[in-house]
A and B are shown apart, each in its own frame.
Chain A
Amino acid sequence: GAGVSQSPRYKVAKRGQDVALRCDPISGHVSLFWYQQALGQGPEFLTYFQNEAQLDKSGLPSDRFFAERPEGSVSTLKIQRTQQEDSAVYLCASSLFSRRETQYFGPGTRLLVL
């Protein structure tokens, strides 16, 4: 079956622009996660959904970051007024039920803010 997909794969934005990153989880997976991976670092947790409910957003670095999953499947991570420090790879992952289970990752979106 299809894995986690993300689009776009690459995004270049001018500082101050808004961007939207999309994640399609594995079909039937209840839990969805977003991570931010800076260059040369491991991924860091941003936010977690169970179905359409955002249960944990403790990792979002500022109020410019917003995520939604309105129908419990596809999710969008939105970054408003992008800053250079937002440049990173944004990874999406899903797991079948809860966050106690193995997470399967997508290929990521590489964001470069100029």
Chain B
Amino acid sequence: SAVISQKPSRDICQRGTSLTIQCQVDSQVTMMFWYRQQPGQSLTLIATANQGSEATYESGFVIDKFPISRPNLTFSTLTVSNMSPEDSSIYLCSVREGGTGNQPQHFGDGTRLSIL
């Protein structure tokens, strides 16, 4: 299965700043996703990162706040912009090798983000 590396693993940031999280996969994958997991909560899908085109955002998430890039089939970034304490969470990158949903997803270990 695909091996996913996320950087940074954790960070403490000041209110109003932005942070870019990187996701590197060791093989080419069709689908890449970004999730948020708040303490004690479920994983919430932020967006699907599309290679060579704009990401597809879920309800409640917008491009201005969470810009995403996916320049190729092995790499994606998620930026958390103009951060506030409510953005404190774990952000997870996930990939799926096939285009259909009935296949396993693989996850990175996440980026633990704290906003002061």
Do A and B pair up? The answer is: no
Q: Which residues of B contact A (CB under 8 A)?
A: none
